[in-house]
């Protein structure tokens, strides 16, 4: 397995949109496996291909406590959503920062697996939030887009400063980096 480089905000490559996948082969499986390993090593629960500079519609997720229930979502699309909630989110592409974001608690979505088979799934709670967060990445959107421009500018400045000094901003007591 190969660890992939996760892009950090405000890198403009995070704004690229993922293209639909129509080839399901060993190359796709390798990318998905590398993304999963990268996510695990980075202590995340979700990772979109756009975050590792691959403009394709592929997401890996594992919200299980034991980190052994990976979910591979190819070409995901939300078809129904309801029940707005506020959830504090972090992001592997915005290290060390967490903000409250409104998301839907219940979603119904379609996706393909790594073989191209189509599925429909319902999700609630953390899984619902994670799927929405990652689909936003595939559409070139980040969780910081839900907050004020002033806060976004401050976060970008702090991340650039931390990267130039080889440190990562951190904040304690937040359980998830999506």
Catalytic residue IDs: 134
- DSSP-derived letter for residue 128 is H
Please answer whether residues 67 and 126 qualify as being in contact, where contact means their C-beta atoms are separated by less than 8 angstroms.
Answer: no
Contact 65, 27 (CB under 8 A): no
Instruction: Give the whole-angstrom CA distance, residue 33 versus residue 49.
Output: 11
Q: 46 pairs with which residues across the strands?
A: 61
**Do 88 and 174 touch, CB atoms closer than 8 A?**
yes
The maximal CA–CA distance of the chain, rounded, in angstroms, is: 46
């Amino acid at each position: 397995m190969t660890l992939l480089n996760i892009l950090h905000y405000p890198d403009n490559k995070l704004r690229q949109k993922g293209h639909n996948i129509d080839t399901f082969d060993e190359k796709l499986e390798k990318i998905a496996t590398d993304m999963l390993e990268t996510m695990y090593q980075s202590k995340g629960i979700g990772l979109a291909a756009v975050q590792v500079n691959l403009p394709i519609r592929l997401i890996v997720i594992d919200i299980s406590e034991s980190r052994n229930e990976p979910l591979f979502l190819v070409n995901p699309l939300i078809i129904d959503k309801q029940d707005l909630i506020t959830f504090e989110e972090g992001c592997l592409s915005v290290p060390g920062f967490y903000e409250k974001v409104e998301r839907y608690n219940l979603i119904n979505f379609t996706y393909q697996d790594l073989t191209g088979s189509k599925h429909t799934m319902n999700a609630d709670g953390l899984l619902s939030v994670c799927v929405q967060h990652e689909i936003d990445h595939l559409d070139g959107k980040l969780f910081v887009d839900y907050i004020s421009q002033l806060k976004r500018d401050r976060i970008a400045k702090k991340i650039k400063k931390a990267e130039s000094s080889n440190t990562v901003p951190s904040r304690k007591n937040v359980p998830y980096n999506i």
